Amino acid sequence: MMTERDIQTAREDLAAAFRWSARLDMHEAVSNHFSFAINDEGSRFLVNPAGIHFSRVKASDLVVVDLDEPLPTPEQGGPDPTAAAIHGAMHRNNPQARCVIHLHPKYVTALSTLDDPTIIPIDQNTARFFNRVSYDIDFGGMGLGDEAERLSATLGNRSIVLMGAHGAMTVGARVSDAFDDFYYLEKAAETLMTAYASGRKLRVLSDDVAETTAQQWANYSFDLRGAHLREIKAILDVEEPEYRH
């Protein structure tokens, strides 16, 4: 059971993640969505309302969607219908998906258009994702109805879905987990697409080295994910303190 303080912290963490994603140019107009489940069943979650630019999102802007109640329309301050469908299915069907981040940034989206979008391990960032990404290459439209349910099943027991011809989703127990994974996912995609563009033969790490590196990332002795978001919030506290309101 989340307390009101827990929910407020989730709101502030999400708002910070929205604003920082805009600074990194990972947003797309007023589309894309982040959410956080506030009950164990995943039937109630915070999500951004339709039509607000990421750079302006405040903690109080986030709306609570209850899947057992009628969904408010965008004109009533509700979320984009695809946000309610995709994130609702993700939260309801995947216990590990407390936070869900969905974006279409440049390099991840470019990678998602390849016939084989596998993130091959060529450096320590790409190795972070070795055997840790679900690949969904069966693009079926905008993510409503059955498509949302299909996407949620694709995740399995992993925390990342690379969505063919679309973008990606990351999930985690905390906002910091899902955000940090997406940050590094885009970095990995940038490195890989840049290497592909060279036209030269790639030096791919062995499976053993890639798996060891992925485990080292996962078991790092310091909470890098938490520190990443904490430092972002410290910067925003000085430069854009209204994000907490």
Domain ranges, residue 39: 4-244
**Distance in angstroms (rounded) separating the CA atoms of residues 178 and 176:** 6
Q: Specify the pLDDT at position 142.
A: 62
Tens digits of residue pLDDT in 30-85: 999 999 999 999 999 999 999 999 999 999 999 999 999 998 999 999 999 889 99
- pLDDT per position as a tens digit, 195-204: 999 999 999 9
Q: What is the structure's pLDDT at 229? A: 99
The CATH number given to whatever domain includes residue 28 is 3.40.225.10
The domain tally of the chain equals 1
Per-residue pLDDT of the chain (245 residues; tens, 9 = 90+): 899 999 999 999 999 999 999 999 999 999 999 999 999 999 999 999 999 999 999 999 999 999 999 989 999 999 998 899 999 999 999 989 999 999 999 999 999 999 999 999 999 999 999 999 999 988 766 655 677 888 889 998 999 999 999 999 999 999 999 999 999 999 999 999 999 999 999 999 999 999 999 999 999 999 999 999 999 999 999 999 999 99
Neighbours of 1 (CB within 10 A): 6
Task: State residue 140's pLDDT score.
Answer: 67
Distance CA(171)–CA(237), nearest Å, equals 25
Beta strand pairing call for 33-37 and 99-103: antiparallel
CA 233/CA 244 separation, integer angstroms: 9
* Contact by Cβ (8 Å): 16, 232: yes
Question: Which among 27, 83, 80 is positioned nearest to 55, based on CA atoms?
Answer: 27
Give the global pTM. 0.96
Q: Which residues contact 199 (CB under 8 A, 6 or more apart)?
A: none
CA distances from 23 to 119, 184, 201, 236 (A): 25, 15, 34, 11
CA atoms within 13 A on the CB side of 172: 18
